[in-house]
Each structure stands twice: as structure tokens, then as C-alpha cells.
Structure 1
């Protein structure tokens, strides 16, 4: 399926360094910060450059606007999107693997919604700071689609198999307080304080021994990038055949029409 929204040719992000060893990587596609291959590629390239900067000891990933990231755009608003077109899946997931290969700790400041691939982007970070009003959603099943962006591996690593299975199978929205209870959110703060507290956490990380931090992190994330590379091939293959089903067509139509889907299993 091809997105009905115009393809964006630039990946608008900015990178700013603070005096305390933190780099802020910010997405600028408000209000929903939909992603595409160029955007994820630019994030990955920023991470690679920051990895080689000895003055940068932690990264904050954040977004301008109402929502952290609403995934890929099917032509609806931020509540009604997930997934990507078949012809770009391989390229997108290759860039996603690069995000998981970063050596510098990443703190995601997650406001509004992180849905579909946007959830995958949030989970690629080491830590997530969110508020009670933040919503996390793996809405793939509600579109008749298999999850992507490595969530098959990354989400269970963060929240455990059963919580991940719950989110993936039901496609339900999980609020910030529930997400904090089962470990998807590391710091639950007031909605208006998300970015500031993410910067504080990153500065705390930047204040401790950087070689030890990288060593500890490498141990804790051992094999993750390789697992993501392998699973995204499987995810893309599952998404490919499911895009040819009537349930997928119904799921996308229902999301764009703001109604409940009526799936038939065909």
C-alpha cells in the first residue's frame, strides 16, 4: 500500500549540544511527527556523529509539537496511523537497526502519543520520560497488520513478554501511568515537565564515568542490534502478505473513517 500523504523529501531534525555533555536530537514535523526513511536515516546519522564526539555523553531524543511520533502517515491524523508501504519497509528497517547500534545512551522525551512505528522509535531509546497524558500504542493488529520497527524484540526486552503480547495483540492505548507501572516509562512526570526531566536524566548520565557507562550499556544491550536486524526481515515479510488481505484494507479504511473495524479473517 502507498501512503496517500505526499512523500516528504527532507528529514527535519536539529542537533544541539549542551555544556553538560548532552546532545538534543529533535524532530520537527509537528504536530504528529510522522516518520519516513529520510527522517529515520537522519536520526541514525546524527547518532553516529554524536557517538564519535567525546564531549557528548548522553542524547535526548524529543519532538516538536503535540505528539512524540505517530508513526507513518496513511493520510489520517495521529490517532489513525501505523505501518509503512511495502516498497520502503526494507530501507526503513535498515535505518532502524542503526538506531539500535548507537553506543551513546539515549533518553526519549515522549509527549502526546507514540503509536505504531513511533512506539518503536521510543523503545529504541534506553530510557523514556513521559507524563500521565502520554499514550503508547502498538495499533498494528487494529489495522490487520504485523508489528514492525523491531518491536517483536525491543518491546519484550523492555516490558517483558506478557505485557508486550498484550499491547501487540490488543492494539490498545496504554496511558503514561500504566506504562510506568510495567516499565515502559522510566520517569513519570507532569505532562509539562517531560522534556526538562529528560534533560535532567541525561545530564545525570553524562555526569558519571563515560567509559564505564558505555561498557555497562554494551553488556546490557548485547546482541540487540543483531536481533533487530534479523527480526525486521521477518516483520517485513509478515507485513507484505498481510497487506494483501481484506482485513488490512478494512483496518486502514476504518481508521481513516474513525469507526470500529469489522474484520472477517480474509
Structure 2
């Protein structure tokens, strides 16, 4: 989980980071900002995060000034010494409200709440997807994009979806990878690719990777109830399925 911390007290931000890494060792701290101005600048760069821990009183105003200036898409856990802002907090992406001084148990309980909601909405989305697939099969609608237009060696070619082992996103862009690790840049963002693909053939295991069912060689248990996936070809990094997706991923593998 990628987390942004908005907190003007250095000691509090350090304690929050320490607790997060203690209860969720795989946490990635995307950044720590101390003011409204700095936060607005950070969100202006449109760097995606999964969750935000946010203090209310900052060095140059309240955190609610951030919401007036930019769009904040991620859910927020508010950490503050003040109890009178709860209503305003829950009107601004609030999913939990923790009073200072907080403990590691407070952080753990807040994260469990986030994961519970995430799991719920994921199950709902999967149910909607299964219903859509059923309707497509009844109406005879073609499922899944059959090819992607890619640019390779000064030419455009139609790359058959059946050849693709996985898609991945990096700082350089989005790529489709075929046998022998041939990579092709794809113009569509990963979210759009996920929508276009047949859900029974491809699965988005995390924010960076969409993998083909036929490319899966082995799945193993990993610590903290996560999974590691090995494909028939090498990948730039270890493929990890978070524990919030692990059960659904295994169901996808077995639903044949």
C-alpha cells in the first residue's frame, strides 16, 4: 500500500511512519508534507497513492484548504488532536478519525477498516463483472479486445492479444510483453487496458501489472497473507498479489 503523510510535526510524522511499517512492512511511504501549500503542489503532480494520513492543523492553515484547491482522490485517515472536526473530515474523503496521541493499535485498527472497505467494494465489482460477462454470453457479444495497435521499429503493427503474457506500467510508460520478453509500448493507460481485456483471460494483480491466465506458471504463499506469482517468462520485478486481492485472484485461477 502506497501512503502519503500530511503532518507538520516531524516527530509525529516519524512515529506514524514507524507504526505503519511495523504493522504493514510492505507499506510504501510516498512522501511526507507539512503544509497546505506543499500538499497542493504534491497533488498537482498527480502522483497516485492508495491512502492518506492527514493532520488537520498545518503550518499555514487547515487541511480542508487542500480540498478547496485540488482534487484529492484517495481515502483519508485524519490524525489530529482536535475532536471538533469530525463532521467536516468525513465530508472530505474521511474513512477514519484518530485522536492524538495515537498508538500502534490505533493505526492497525484504521488500516483494517480501510482493508475491509476495499475488500467489500472489490467483491461488489467482481459480482458486477460476472453479471456483465453473463449478459455478454447471452447476447453473443464479443468479449475482450483481440489486438492492440503498437509502434515498433518505425512501424505500426497489430499485436494479437493472444500473444501477450502480461502488461506492465513503469516510469517509461505502459508495455505489452510477449514470448521471449519482447516489449511493445502501448498507448492506452493500464486502467483502460484492464477494461478492454476479457476478464477471464487477464487479471490485474496490482497497480503495475495485468497478467494473462495462460502465462501463470506458479503461485506461492508469501508473508502477511500475500501471494507471489511466477510467469512462464521473466518479469522486471517480483509479482506480488496483496492480501486484499489474494482470495479473489485464486478464485479467478480456479474459475475455469
Which bracket does the TM-score occupy, shorter chain normalised? Answer: under 0.3
Q: Which has more strand, going by share of residues? A: 2
Bigger relative CO (Cα 8 Å, ≥ 6 apart): 1
Compare CA radii of gyration and give the structure with the larger one.
2
TM-score, normalization: structure 1?
0.27
Q: State the TM-score, normalizing by the size of structure 2.
A: 0.27
